[in-house]
Chains A and B, each alone.
Chain A
Amino acid sequence: MKRYNPIVLIAQVSPISAILGLFLIVPIATILIVSFWDYSEFMLLPDFVWTNYTDTLGSYVTYKTYLNTFKYTVLTWIFTLLIGFPVAYFLCFHVRTLRWQIILFLICTIPFWTSNIIRMISWIPFLGRNGVFNSMLINLGLTNEPLEFLLFSDFAIVLAFVHLYTLFMVVPIFNSMMRINRSVLEAAIDAGANGWQVLTNVVIPLCKPGIAIGSIFVVTLVMGDYITVRLMGGGLRASVGVMMWNEISLLLYPPAAANAVVLLAVVLILVSLMMRVVDLKKEL
């Protein structure tokens, strides 16, 4: 076939380039620039100072906050993987007909298209002081007093993350599994592998790209989160997003920008480590 008409090509790619340029690239460049600015109580002062970075990176609180955020990230990642993998495995290898695969898959994906905030709020009747869990525990005689740590705690935060983001793990892993040629599994069995060996030596290695993509989603969503920690932690728990948001609401833009740059760097490092396993273009 003949080559593209350059005018057509430009017409096709300029909308996406313009939108991402104006609303992604330029804003991030703005953050980068402002992170070097000075500020007074009322205004931003264009300058080139490192104080925003030295303040942030020199503060014990920053490291503690990052540590706490990593804790949420690692816990959420482990649980979403431990739940997401078997769910994908069941859908792919145990549900026999395509019709049921589609139906069950859609049942899993519908919550993704509804509001995250509502899904967080919906834990209140379960986890509150007089909530379902506490009444159940008291009725079973497991505890006399309602447990206070259920709502507004690290537990609630991780639970909400797992609830919101397990789907991001299920879909890419399912996608990888569906590409596994069934005859490879049969060959492994014929060669004498037991079920566990098939899983660890064949299925899991072939699912690595899916696991990596799912992990990228989960890790970046949790690392940059503000709202879940704010809502489920009752305003008492710290994360990088919450720290940034506190600075933003005090109009401390340059320190917030410096924090944003650090966060972006951390996230990009994590993503590039996970991307080693995937060739993104082959996954589509």
Chain B
Amino acid sequence: MGERRRKEYYFLAVFFTIFVLFLYGPISAILILSFQGPNGGLTFPMNGFSIHWFFALFGEQLVGDFKAAFLRSLQLGLIVMVLTIVVSVLAGLAFRKKFFGSTLLFYTTVASLIVPSILVSLGIGLLYNLMEWEAAWYSSGMGAHLTWTLPFGFLIMIAVFNRFDKSYEEAAKDLGASNWQTIRYVVLPIIAPSLIGVALFGFTLSYDEFARTLMTSGVKNTLPLEIFGMTTNVTTPTLYALGTLTTVFSLVVILTAMGIVFYMRKRRERYGSDAGKGV
């Protein structure tokens, strides 16, 4: 058994390594190619090494208004993130018990994840069209993004509350805490690390969302739409420079979120509890 197991281990370890290379290989290629020399093209070999294409990116005539698109996506991502956290936590609290319509609401939320994005895009686009509302990234676009981020946040909250030890809450109540105090000083601190996870989903899924933004963002483009526009008319490594910048930005966001969770864990291990601080 041991010999077989070791063989299986090495085989799978190699398989896993190849999978990771497959995941990261292409993206690292464009990270490298974005530093092409001024005469370099879209493929290897590197023709010199420069930050020429990053400068080209900020010259507006070439690629359209990428800075404004980035700021729009950033703001939208933050708004969607906050709404996703608040709405998911509220819904998660309600779903700790069955209530009239809970099954319907549960499956509607799951459906929001399963309905093809192009339908959400078309539906919201048509609705705004018929109602003669003006579609914009911060109204219809935001709604479209929420249909994608909320199910993730909601399902995470359900999973979190399924594992939540209710005796903490009962203890708080026995000690005379009001409902609000129980939630504010007991429930929220316990679920805080998961909320960072929900925030990460909310922000990055919105920041990168393309299909659901297509017909819902109005006249002004979000960053993914801008990048998609570039793919059809930009044939220089500027495209890669933009790819590198947004990827680095995403990585910073992800690593920050993971860092916060890690820090919270450590702090908790060190201090254990915040008993007596909730007055």
Binding site for B on A (CB under 8 A): 1, 4, 8-9, 11-13, 15-17, 19-20, 22-28, 30-31, 34, 44, 83, 86-87, 89-91, 94, 104, 106-108, 110-111, 113-119, 121-126, 128, 130-132, 135, 163, 166, 189, 195, 216, 220, 223-227, 231, 241, 244-245, 248, 253, 256-257, 260, 263-264, 267, 271, 280-281, 284
Pair B154/A24 contact, Cβ less than 8 Å: no
Chain A: minimal CB distance from B96 (Å):
9
Establish whether residues B116 and A263, one from each chain, have CB atoms under 8 Å apart when the complex forms: yes
Partner of A122, one of B1, B29, B258: B29
Write the nearest CB–CB distance from B61 to chain A, whole angstroms: 22
Q: Which parts of B107-126 form the interface with A (CB within 8 Å)?
A: 108-112, 114-120, 122-126
**CB-defined interface of B2-27 with A at 8 Å, one 1/0 digit per residue?**
00110011001101100110111111
Closest to B153 in A: A16
Which residues from chain B sit less than 8 Å from chain A, CB to CB?
1, 4-5, 8-9, 12-13, 15-16, 19-20, 22-27, 29-30, 33, 41-44, 83, 86-88, 90-91, 93-94, 97, 99, 101, 105-106, 108-112, 114-120, 122-127, 129-130, 140, 143-144, 146-147, 150, 154-155, 158-159, 162, 170, 179, 200, 204-205, 207-208, 210-211, 214-215, 224, 227-228, 231, 239-240, 243, 246-247, 250-251, 253-254, 258
Q: A13-B91, A27-B126, A166-B19 are known contacts; what are 6 more A-B pairs with Cβ within 8 Å?
A: A126-B26, A128-B43, A130-B43, A135-B44, A220-B115, A224-B115
Contact at B123–A30, with CB atoms within 8 Å? yes
Please name all residues of chain A whose beta carbon is closer than 8 Å to the beta carbon of B23 when the two chains form the complex: 108, 111, 163
Interchain CA distance A132-B242 in the complex, whole Å: 21
Q: Which residues of B contact A220 (CB under 8 A)?
A: 114-116
Question: CA of A116 to CA of B205 in the docked complex: distance in angstroms?
Answer: 10
Cα–Cα distance between A271 and B114 once the two chains are bound (Å): 8
> How far, in Å, is A139 (CB) from chain B's closest CB?
12
In the complex, the answer to whether B200 meets A113 with C-beta atoms within 8 Å is: yes
**Nearest-CB residue, chain A, relative to B1:** A189
* CB atoms of A115 and B250 under 8 A apart: yes
Contact of B90 among A12, A20, A263 (CB under 8 A): A12
Task: Give every chain A residue within 8 A of B200 (Cβ-Cβ).
Answer: 113
B122:A248 contact, CB within 8 angstroms: yes
Chain B nearest CB, measured from A118 CB (Å): 4
Task: Kindly provide the distance from the CB of A273 to the nearest chain B CB, expressed in whole angstroms.
Answer: 13
Chain A residues with CB under 8 Å of B119's CB are: 27-28, 31, 224, 260, 263-264
What residues on A are CB-neighbors of B243 within 8 Å?
Answer: 115, 118, 121-122
Cβ of B30 and Cβ of A125 under 8 Å apart?
yes
Chain B: which residue is nearest A31 at the CB level? B123
Question: In the complex, are the beta carbons of B26 and A241 less than 8 A apart?
Answer: no
Q: Say whether A15 contacts B118, CB under 8 Å.
A: no
A113 to B77, CA, bound (A): 13
Q: A116 and B27: CB pair below 8 A?
A: no
Q: Are B43 and A19 in contact (CB-based, < 8 A)?
A: no
How far does the Cβ of B108 sit from chain A's closest Cβ, in whole Å?
Answer: 6
Majority secondary structure, A binding face: helix
A125, B45: Cα distance in complex, Å: 10
Instruction: Supply 29 A–B pairs (Cβ within 8 Å), ascending by A.
Output: A16-B88, A16-B154, A19-B83, A20-B112, A23-B120, A23-B124, A24-B123, A27-B126, A30-B123, A30-B126, A86-B15, A108-B20, A113-B200, A113-B253, A114-B246, A115-B227, A115-B243, A117-B224, A121-B227, A125-B29, A128-B42, A130-B44, A132-B44, A135-B44, A195-B4, A195-B8, A224-B119, A241-B116, A241-B118
Contact A94 B116 (CB under 8 A): no
A86 nearest in chain B by CB position: B15
Q: Verify A123–B251 contact, CB threshold 8 A.
A: no
Assembled-state Cα–Cα distance A216/B110 (Å) = 11
Cβ–Cβ contact B99 & A30, under 8 A: no
From B120, B162, B211, contact of A226 by CB (8 A):
B211
**What residues on A are CB-neighbors of B143 within 8 Å?**
19, 22-23
Question: Quick one: which of B86, B123, B144 contacts A15, CB cutoff 8 A?
Answer: B86
Contacts of A264 in B (CB 8 A): 115-116, 119
Complex CA distance for A34 and B123, rounded to whole angstroms: 10
Q: Are B114 and A267 in contact (CB under 8 A)?
A: yes
A174 smallest CB distance to B (angstroms) = 12
The answer to whether residues A25 and B126 also contact, given A83-B19, A121-B243 and a CB cut-off of 8 A, is no
Q: Which residue of B lies closest to A21 (CB)?
A: B108
Knowing A12-B91, A263-B119, the reply to whether A122 touches B26 (Cβ < 8 A) is yes
Contact A16 B105 (CB under 8 A): yes
Given contacts A125-B30, A260-B119, contact A15 B112 (CB under 8 A): no
**Given A12-B91, A257-B126, A121 contacting B118 (CB threshold 8 A):** no
The verdict on A26 contacting B227 (CB below 8 Å), with A12-B94, A20-B112 known, is: no
Q: Return the contact of B227 from the options A13, A113, A118, A253 (Cβ within 8 A).
A: A118
| Measured CA separation A17–B147 after assembly (Å) | 11
Cα A28 to Cα B147 with chains together (Å): 12
- Among residues of B, the one whose C-beta sits closest to the C-beta of A25 is B108
- Per the bound structure, the CA–CA distance linking A16 and B107 in Å amounts to 12
* Inter-subunit contact A90/B22 (CB<8 Å): no
